Amino acid sequence: MSVEADAAAQLAQRVLAAEGIGDGELGIAFVASDEIRALKKEHLGIDEATDVLSFPLDGRDDVPEGTPRALGDVVLCPQVVGSQWREALVHGLLHLLGYDHGDEMEARERVHAAR
């Protein structure tokens, strides 16, 4: 399964704009299942592959206007996520914005899936 980088970037821009982030810096990486497994083991202590991991950087809401936020990185594994890469990318982006698993995050995922 391949993910078109331009389509992923466009989706990220739409999600961030809808979430009120006009200027932000983030990285999106596409990795193989062995790489994402190693990252999950290193950072979460769980030895298994996963679809998406998020690595937030600043987490600040008090960034002065006009200053881009350093959001962090989303790491996506196309081999694991398959055709659901859009949903996984949205999920990862919402984690960068401070959402945790739960009703609020699920509601935001539904909003972005409807677009």
Give the start-to-end residue ranges of the domains of the chain. Answer: 5-113
Largest CA distance in the chain: 41
Q: In sequence order, what are the residues at sequence separation of 6 or more whose Cβ sits closer than 8 angstroms to the Cβ of residue 14? A: 112, 115
The residue among 36 and 6 whose pLDDT is bigger is 36
User: CA 100 to CA 115: how far, in whole Å?
Assistant: 22
Which residue from 25, 28, 15 is spatially nearest to 67, judged by alpha carbons?
Answer: 25
| pLDDT at 18 > cutoff 70 | yes
Has domain 5-113 been given CATH number 3.40.390.30? Answer: yes
pLDDT digits (tens, 9 = 90+) for 53-108: 999 986 556 666 666 778 899 999 999 988 889 999 999 999 998 898 999 989 99
pTM given for the model: 0.85
Q: What dihedral angle (degrees, nearest 10) is formed by the CA atoms of 58, 62, 20, 83? A: 10
| pLDDT at 2 > cutoff 90 | no
User: CA 22 to CA 14: how far, in whole Å?
Assistant: 10
Q: Positive or negative CA dihedral for 62, 63, 64, 65? A: negative
